[in-house]
Amino acid sequence: MSLIEIKNLVKTYQTGDTSFNALDGVSLTVEKGEFVCIMGTSGSGKSTFMNMLGCLDKPTQGTYFLDGVDVSRLNADELAEIRNLKLGFVFQGFNLISRTSALENVELPMIYKGIPKEERIEKARAALKIVGLEQRESHHPNQMSGGQQQRVAIARAIVNDAPIILADEPTGNLDTKTSIEVMEFFVKLNEESGKTIVLVTHEPDIAEYSKRVVRFKDGRIISDEVRA
């Protein structure tokens, strides 16, 4: 079975007396170790799709198997548990806690997992070293550049050794040079650590880093291109 297997996914939103499908019968499989970019204009359904992938929302219809588990049938606690085990998240706005250090930010997912403090610190330091920030572990977000903050977010995403990283416009707040550095980290994680990466972007030059590009329009997949 594929790592991600989605069949006929529909997400319907109700606005007053009218309803519309943000996702309209989406089917997609992602194999272990793939690097997939999701593209589409605003309102195309790509953000709704990422929320489904991240177990942050439930479909109106259809099925979603994540590593063999039908997550469309799970309750809130079960969804939270599978998110922590299987998924690492990287967002456009970094989503770091401003009053805590880089090390403490990276520790957060392990606190939810109940990992003892000494082990948390050891793993958080190892994750920061992977992204080249071992000298910055005591710095707060406001003492770091945007690129450094995003690398802290990547360290947080990988610290639990989740097999899948979901990245939503991770370079949206970064300049071109820093965007290249961040994307090179994603490529490294994919090629050297075998992480499966699904990344949303509207920028074609960012999509060039992936091995597969899936384009959305009006809640449907209109193309699915595998790169050589």
* pLDDT of 1 higher than 80: no
**pLDDT for 129-188, tens place per residue?**
988 898 989 999 999 998 899 889 989 988 888 899 999 988 888 888 889 988 998 999
Q: Which fold has domain 4-226?
A: Rossmann fold (3.40.50)
The residues spanned by each domain of the chain are 4-226
pTM for this entry: 0.90
| DSSP structure string for 131-183 | TT-GGGTT--GGGS-HHHHHHHHHHHHHTT--SEEEEESTTTTS-HHHHHHHH
- The pLDDT of residue 76: 87
CB 135 within 8 Å of CB 129: no
Q: What is the pLDDT of residues 38-78, one digit of tens each?
A: 999 888 999 899 999 999 888 999 999 999 999 988 888 89
What is the reported pLDDT for 165? 94
The pLDDT of residue 94 is 81
Strands 4-15 and 18-30: antiparallel
Mean pLDDT (the chain, rounded): 91
The dihedral sign for the CA sequence 129, 201, 166, 92 = positive
* Distance separating alpha carbons of residues 83 and 33, to the nearest angstrom: 18
> Looking at residue 140, what is its pLDDT?
94
Q: Which amino acid is at 14?
A: Q
Which residues 6+ apart lie within 8 Å of 138 measured at CB?
Answer: 101, 102, 103
